[in-house]
A and B are shown apart, each in its own frame.
Chain A
Amino acid sequence: MKKIVVIEDETVLQKAMSIELLGAGYTVMTAGDGEAGLELVKKVMPDLLLLDLIIPKLGGFEVLKALKADETTKNIPVVILSNLGQDEDKKKGMDLGAVDYYIKSSTDLSEITKKVEGLIGK
């Protein structure tokens, strides 16, 4: 089974995303802050990372930078799902190496699942 790490500080949302992705047939692991998320990614080497940007301890952009700077993790596709909807935030995320950027208020979770399926298959 493909593994997905979700870094999201809102526990309710963590649970909701886990249910959605588990339902689609993935193994899901979650982390509630940037530091723990980075550690988890390095430990489990997931097939994909779903990343929030406004998270405690280490921000989402910093997590992304650190992953892309590390040879072992730089190829892990990162999908950003954030409340930040400004164009400069999107550009920054994509420039740092994210494969896609979604804004929470206007995204359907089934779109994310389809995107994940398109990136890593089932």
Chain B
Amino acid sequence: MSTIRSRWTTRILHTTAFVHNQKEKLLTAHAGGAFFVVISIIISEVFLGLISLPLYLVATPSTGQGDDHSEYKIRRTITLSIIVAIFIIWLLKLVFIIGLSLYFDPRALYSIKETGVKVASVSTLTTEVAIAPVDSGLTPPKVIAAEQNGKNTVTISGTSNPKAVLAVYLTKEQTAKSSASVHMYADWADKNGRWQITEDANVFLLPPGNYVASAVEYNEITKTKSTLSNGLPFSINDSYLHQFFRRFDTILNIAVGLFIIIGVAGIILML
């Protein structure tokens, strides 16, 4: 027991000595070096605050005089506040992380850049178009625009041969619990070869995320299809509330970081 106590009190002694030496070093350090010294002081102060926490909690039965306890009280208050705040914030994070993944879609493991995204193979689709052989003689359509009109509603438009039958695919990025999903739509181009489909939120809610729109032309007589068109990336954005929840983890991490920096800076300024 006394060995553990000695190790602990010695660690406190060495840490205070280290902080003191770093402060001495700071007086002579130049810009670049000073930055690292300040960082090491901040980390050491946090470490000291944590390892000396039991001292703050248990009053030692020593009698003193001429003691200036203001710095001690400030450090004690800040350290305890930081620890309680971190605990509450991480508890909230845990609740939100579990709650959100149960209530909303699983969070994406990564985000995809809106260029160079591979479009899902058409052959994976279980529709008539999917099993139709590719006719290289058929000119593939072009996807020109993908625009979000309102909450989770998107309009895809493009060009093809006049009066052509089109199968339009919206491929969603892979998420933590689901593989890449593909939504398929059919449309008929007008006499000028223009076509447009609208994903209506009232019919089917397109979840927020990154998508790629692509299309093939389908010949109903020969039961063949063209090669796949270009892939046009687009995103379905969340509402601000939804975005807030999606970024809650990041926001909390930043908040904790700022809290610690401000708290430790406060300690250093008070010393």
Contact = CB atoms under 8 A, between A and B. Distances in A.
A108 B6 contact: yes
A19 B5 contact: yes
Interface residues of A, number: 39
B57 to A, nearest CB: 11
A34 B2 CA distance: 30
A39 B5 contact: no
B65 A31 contact: yes
A18 B12 contact: no
Given A11-B71, A19-B55, A104-B13, A37 B66 contact: yes
A83 B5 contact: no
Q: Which secondary structure characterizes the binding site on chain A?
A: helix
Nearest to A57: B66
Interface string B1-37: 0110110111011101110110000000000000000
A108 B64 contact: no
Contact of B13 (A11, A16, A29): A16
A1 B64 CA distance: 17
Contact of A11 (B3, B21, B67): B67
Contacts of B5: 19-20, 23
Given A11-B69, A105-B18, A30 B64 contact: yes
Interface string A23-37: 110001111110111
Interface in A1-58: 6, 9-20, 22-24, 28-33, 35-37, 39-40, 54, 56-57
B52 interface: yes
A33 B68 contact: yes
B63 interface: yes
B100 to A, nearest CB: 41
14 contacts: A6-B62, A11-B67, A11-B72, A12-B12, A15-B60, A30-B67, A33-B66, A33-B68, A54-B20, A83-B20, A83-B21, A103-B17, A104-B20, A110-B10
